[in-house]
């Protein structure tokens, strides 16, 4: 089963199959065979692959500049520090932020926990008057959405439990989009934090950030944006969006694992109490007390993920040179082809907006009568890599009466042939299992 071709003749400014094939040459892992078949990698929503330039950027650091940053006056230490901070500036520019508004973390999950624990610490003795604005208490409310990844749900659940605050959520409709009328009722005078995903890792839904920010601002609430599925795939300018905080992970945008980013408005970061304490985040230490550096260093205790940050900057450069508008446009074509093709296969239920709607280039689907894990193994036998399970979004799956789905997710190195290979294989799943 192959979808009807959609916009397969891109203009000179658009990406197309021919250019994608050239891009694929930059990704050595894509050349391999899996189970005797050409690898079709459709799991970039979980972890993307790395171009040679990113791999070489990290290797070059270890070969020529390996040293601790901010801690030495010798040549290598100075070189390492400059490369580390240049990387911060590059990533900041990529999302439209200032350099001191980018905090390195190990991943987006850590970044979200940094926020929740910092807000928890704001209510403790000795946090200071500036931190009081982040302290929560009984009757205060934290608002999330029904489509959140666990990383943007559990930290807020825990913060609510520990402070006496109430956790509320904005529901979704049967299509998989937020109910904005109900959002306006859920976000109220007691709301202190509104945390929501920019784009769903299951539904592909791209949320109306500006409208949610407007609702939050009208009641004086802070906004936290999970940008893990948006920053790698479409142009994101945090200042234009108006969010107070945003998080994303390097490994979903061509960079290595072990590095993520917390963006925060500088005046907020500098008022927040630290999450981790120790070396490299202080100004003066006595046996009785310590004074902390301003952001971003106040949130970067200990030895940092130096090589990974430098590699993330290289990934950002690769994405910028390719063009984020072009990447988003191409993935929209792939996503429409994917959703339309899956919807035409008997016994397949696709979650999220229909083909042609503004959505990510991914699709989570249920195969009637076949467990998602069995679907994944069948596809793997044909060299097709997808994700199976609840994708760290159990409440969302429960909303649709499912325990698990199979998810195919595209990126800038995928062709229409990759999508068609998946569609052909999915069409064979139910017959293979005798359903």
CA 274/CA 281 separation, integer angstroms: 9
Angle between helices 306-322 and 75-94 (to 10 degrees): 40
Helix (H, G, I), strand (E, B) or coil at 406: strand
Kindly provide the residue ranges of all beta strands, DSSP E only, lying in 265-378, ordered along the sequence: 282-285, 290-292, 348-350, 362-367
CA 320/CA 315 separation, integer angstroms: 9
Segments in 176-230 forming alpha helices (H): 180-186, 209-218
Segments in 227-323 forming alpha helices (H): 238-241, 266-269, 306-322
Q: What are the backbone angles phi and psi of residue 371, rounded to the nearest 5°? A: -65, 145
CA 158 to chain centre: 21
Taking a C-beta distance cutoff of 8 angstroms, is the pair 199, 230 a contact?
yes
Q: Do β-strands 191-197 and 141-145 pair in parallel, antiparallel, or remain unpaired? A: parallel
CA 272/CA 132 separation, integer angstroms: 9
Within a 10 A sphere around the Cβ of 370, how many other Cβ atoms? 18
Among this protein's residues, is 228 annotated catalytic? no
Counting runs of H as helices and runs of E as strands, what totals does the chain give?
A: 15, 17
Taking a C-beta distance cutoff of 8 angstroms, is the pair 390, 404 a contact?
yes
What would you report as the CA-atom Rg of the chain, rounded to the nearest whole angstrom? 22
Measure the N-to-C terminal CA separation of the chain; round to a whole number of Å: 17
Within a 10 A sphere around the Cβ of 377, how many other Cβ atoms? 11
CA 246/CA 197 separation, integer angstroms: 9
Q: Choosing from 392, 395, 424, 428, which is the catalytic residue?
A: 392
Helix (H, G, I), strand (E, B) or coil at 153: coil
Taking a C-beta distance cutoff of 8 angstroms, is the pair 57, 310 a contact?
yes
CA 220/CA 191 separation, integer angstroms: 8
> How far is CA 417 from each of CA 17, 37, 120, 338, rounded to the nearest angstrom?
9, 14, 49, 11
Q: Which residue numbers are catalytic?
A: 392
């Amino acid at each position: 089963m192959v979808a009807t071709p959609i916009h397969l003749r891109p203009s000179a400014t658009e990406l197309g199959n021919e250019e994608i094939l050239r891009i694929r040459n930059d990704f050595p892992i894509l050349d391999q065979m899996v189970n005797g078949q050409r690898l079709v990698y459709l799991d970039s929503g979980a972890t993307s692959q790395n171009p040679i330039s990113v791999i070489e950027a990290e290797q070059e650091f270890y070969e020529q500049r390996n040293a601790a940053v901010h801690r030495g006056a010798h040549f290598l230490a100075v070189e390492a520090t400059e490369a580390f901070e240049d990387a911060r500036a590059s990533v900041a520019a990529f999302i439209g932020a200032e350099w001191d508004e980018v905090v390195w973390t190990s991943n987006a999950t850590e970044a979200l926990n940094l926020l929740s624990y910092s807000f928890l610490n704001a209510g403790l003795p000795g946090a200071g008057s500036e931190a009081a604005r982040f302290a929560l208490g009984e009757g205060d409310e934290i608002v999330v959405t029904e489509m959140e990844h666990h990383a943007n749900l559990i930290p807020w659940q825990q913060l609510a439990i520990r402070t006496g605050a109430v956790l509320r959520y904005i529901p979704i409709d049967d299509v998989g989009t937020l109910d904005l009328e109900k959002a306006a009722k859920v976000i109220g005078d007691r709301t202190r934090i509104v945390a929501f995903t920019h784009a769903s890792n299951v539904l592909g839904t791209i949320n109306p950030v500006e409208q949610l920010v407007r609702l939050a601002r009208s009641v004086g609430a802070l906004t936290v944006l999970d940008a893990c599925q948006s920053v790698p795939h479409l142009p994101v300018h945090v200042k234009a969006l108006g969010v107070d905080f945003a998080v994303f992970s390097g490994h979903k945008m061509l960079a290595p694992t072990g590095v993520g980013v917390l963006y925060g408005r500088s005046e907020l970061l500098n008022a927040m109490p630290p999450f981790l304490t120790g070396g490299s985040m202080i100004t003066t230490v006595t046996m009785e007390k310590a004074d902390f550096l301003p952001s971003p260093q106040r949130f970067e205790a200990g030895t940092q993920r130096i090589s990974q940050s430098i590699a993330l900057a290289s990934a950002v450069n690769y994405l910028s040179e390719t063009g984020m508008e072009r990447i988003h446009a191409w993935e929209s074509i792939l996503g429409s082809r994917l959703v339309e093709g899956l919807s035409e296969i008997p016994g397949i239920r696709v979650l999220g907006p229909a083909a042609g709607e503004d959505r990510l280039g991914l699709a989570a689907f249920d195969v009637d009568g076949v467990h998602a894990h069995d679907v994944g193994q069948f596809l793997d036998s044909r060299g097709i890599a997808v994700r199976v399970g609840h994708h760290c979004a159990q409440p969302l799956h429960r909303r649709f009466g499912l325990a698990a789905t199979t998810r195919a997710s595209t990126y800038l190195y995928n062709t229409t042939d990759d999508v068609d290979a998946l569609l052909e294989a999915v069409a064979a799943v139910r017959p293979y299992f005798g359903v």
